[in-house]
């Protein structure tokens, strides 16, 4: 596809749950597919309501082909039964998430794939192939990925439309188990749609969450013989958030090394880092980590075993970290962790059975203790650092950041069978 100068967010006829056909909207919603990874999490969602969206995003069967066909058949059945119904006219959707002091508002639409969208992480080809097979079989985008862009910081253009729309009665409102309140509005007024389009055509976006789904959209378009820029496959479902008005939360993603006992992790350092035992609880350990200058990590073997690693050997850094990247990338905690500690010092293979990625510190510490392994607790990288590297075409080490709040799955779906606009 020929690249466009800016972002083009297209209206579509959203596919949404009929409230009268489900026990509640909360009961049919789910976190994104890659957050619901544990079998008990899937079972919890499946038992919440027989129509929970997890049956579409994470169907389970003996083989991939059966799983994908199962999701497609389930989608077809729910549409024919009136459980999912399509909105009468194409719209962009204003989506609001609120919990305590956290407020995020953005626009859900079908983003053309030829716009300036910056990735900051690589993808695993096998995951892209699996998601592509699922979307192709179902002819649908089940969940929006999260993109950020930088507006003017004022209530003009798209921001002005959003602020006006949220004063109206929403299409739906619900609160999920995590305490977030969700509201959704449809934007159909031609003047509002034009104002949004005029604004976004001057922007570029950063993929905050959903690299595999974005790569999946691109793969699906490439596989459609004769597809043009007007094809539904030439765009993908996204949530666009103006972080000049609604800054994203950026959290660290911690590593769990189940086969590396804490004593061996410390012994193998052999002067590569300074290691100091930290007294006290997890919160105190994380506070110490945040206050430490330069590269630093906390090693945890359990709820009462914490060591602070800092002051890495400069010669070791120089020998092990690739030189063809900007200095900002070379100094990232995640870069040092993977290039120095995991690859050079501990010789940990980059394989799911050897490295686990967890978003919550408590869960990481508990899992490490359960396996007799080691948790490496990390600090978050700022959105600005991620954006600057992405603008220079430099990707972060995998699982470097967790942006949020992530859009809930199940509020609005998009079909690709030619009836979406």
The pLDDT assigned to 3 comes to 53
User: If we measure between CA atoms, which residue out of 206, 68, 203 comes closest to residue 131?
Assistant: 68
> Which residues in 142-243 belong to E strands, given as ranges?
145-149, 172-175, 181-187, 205-209, 235-242
What CATH number corresponds to the domain at position 107? 3.90.1530.10
C-alpha–C-alpha distance, residues 314 and 326, integer Å? 17
The pLDDT assigned to 402 comes to 84
Contact 91, 178 (CB under 8 A): no
For 280-295, write each residue's pLDDT tens digit: 899 999 999 999 999 9
Domain identity same for 284 and 185: no
Domain identity same for 182 and 243: yes
- Size (the chain), residues: 421
Domain identity same for 46 and 149: yes
Strand 205-209 relative to strand 117-118: parallel, antiparallel, unpaired?
parallel
Domain identity same for 346 and 206: no
Predicted model pTM: 0.84
Domain identity same for 68 and 202: yes
What DSSP assignment string belongs to 179-191? S-EEEEEEE--HH
The pLDDT assigned to 40 comes to 58
Please check whether residue 393 lies inside any domain of the structure.
no
The pLDDT assigned to 297 comes to 97
Domain identity same for 270 and 126: no
Please check whether residue 64 lies inside any domain of the structure.
yes
Please check whether residue 145 lies inside any domain of the structure.
yes
Please check whether residue 226 lies inside any domain of the structure.
yes
Task: Examine the pLDDT at 39 and tell me if it is beyond 90.
Answer: no
Task: Examine the pLDDT at 421 and tell me if it is beyond 60.
Answer: no
pLDDT tier for residue 225 given thresholds of 50, 70 and 90: low
For 50-102, write each residue's pLDDT tens digit: 999 989 998 888 888 999 999 999 999 999 999 999 999 999 999 999 999 99
Domain identity same for 308 and 326: yes
Please check whether residue 354 lies inside any domain of the structure.
yes
Please check whether residue 80 lies inside any domain of the structure.
yes
Domain identity same for 216 and 363: no
User: If we measure between CA atoms, which residue out of 15, 11, 12, 43 comes closest to residue 30?
Assistant: 43
Contact 406, 250 (CB under 8 A): no
The pLDDT assigned to 228 comes to 79
Domain identity same for 266 and 140: no
Residue with tokens 């919440």: 48
Helix ranges (H only) for 307-391 are 314-320, 327-330, 333-336, 361-371, 383-391
Domain identity same for 78 and 227: yes
For 243-255, write each residue's pLDDT tens digit: 999 999 888 999 9
Domain identity same for 90 and 177: yes
Please check whether residue 394 lies inside any domain of the structure.
no
The CA distances from residue 247 to 178, 346, 379, in Å, are 20, 37, 18
For residue 117 the two structure tokens come to 């969208």
The pLDDT > 90 percentage for the chain reads: 71
**Total structural domains in the chain?**
2
The total of other beta-carbon atoms located within 10 Å of residue 257's CB is 23
- Adjacent-strand bridge partners of 175: 181
Q: Count Cβ atoms within 10 A of the Cβ of residue 44 and give its class: 0-12 exposed, 13-18 middle, 19 or more buried.
A: middle
Please check whether residue 392 lies inside any domain of the structure.
no
The pLDDT assigned to 193 comes to 97
Identify the sign of the CA torsion 162, 163, 165, 168.
Answer: positive
Range of the domain at 281: 253-379
Domain identity same for 224 and 319: no
């Amino acid at each position: 596809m020929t690249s466009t100068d800016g972002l083009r967010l297209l209206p579509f006829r959203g596919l949404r749950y009929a409230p009268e056909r489900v026990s509640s909207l909360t009961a049919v919603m789910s976190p994104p597919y890659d957050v619901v990874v544990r079998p008990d999490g899937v079972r919890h969602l499946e038992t919440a309501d027989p129509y929970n969206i997890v049956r579409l995003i994470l169907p389970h069967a003996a083989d991939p082909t059966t799983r994908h066909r199962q999701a497609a058949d389930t989608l077809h059945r729910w549409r024919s039964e009136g459980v999912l119904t399509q909105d009468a006219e194409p719209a962009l959707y204003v989506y609001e998430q609120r919990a305590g002091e956290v407020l995020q508002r953005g626009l859900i639409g079908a983003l053309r794939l030829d716009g300036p969208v910056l990735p900051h992480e690589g993808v695993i080809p096998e995951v892209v192939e699996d998601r592509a097979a699922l979307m192709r079989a179902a002819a649908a985008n089940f969940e929006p990925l999260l993109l950020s862009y930088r507006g003017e910081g004022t209530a003009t253009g798209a921001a002005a439309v959003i602020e006006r729309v949220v004063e109206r009665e929403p299409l739906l409102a619900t609160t999920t188990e995590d305490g977030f309140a969700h509201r959704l509005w449809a934007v159909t007024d031609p003047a509002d749609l034009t104002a949004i389009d005029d604004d976004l055509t001057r922007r570029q976006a950063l993929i905050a969450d959903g690299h595999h789904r974005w790569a999946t959209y691109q793969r699906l378009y490439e596989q459609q013989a004769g597809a043009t820029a007007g094809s539904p496959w030439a765009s993908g479902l996204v949530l666009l958030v103006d972080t000049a008005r609604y800054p994203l939360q950026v959290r660290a993603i911690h590593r769990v090394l189940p086969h590396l006992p804490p004593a061996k992790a410390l012994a193998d350092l052999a002067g590569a880092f300074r290691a100091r035992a930290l007294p006290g609880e997890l919160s105190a350990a994380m506070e110490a980590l945040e206050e430490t200058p330069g590269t630093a990590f906390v090693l945890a073997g359990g709820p009462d075993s914490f060591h602070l690693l800092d002051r890495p050997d400069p010669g070791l850094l120089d020998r092990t970290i690739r030189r063809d990247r900007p200095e900002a990338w070379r100094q990232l905690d995640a870069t040092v962790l993977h290039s120095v500690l995991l690859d050079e010092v501990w010789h940990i293979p980059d394989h799911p059975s050897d490295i686990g990625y967890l978003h919550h510190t408590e869960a990481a510490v508990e899992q490490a203790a359960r396996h007799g392994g080691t948790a490496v607790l990390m600090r978050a990288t700022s959105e600005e650092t991620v954006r600057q590297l992405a603008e220079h075409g430099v990707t972060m080490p995998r699982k470097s950041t967790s942006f949020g709040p992530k859009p809930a799955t199940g509020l609005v779906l998009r079909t690709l069978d030619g009836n979406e606009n």
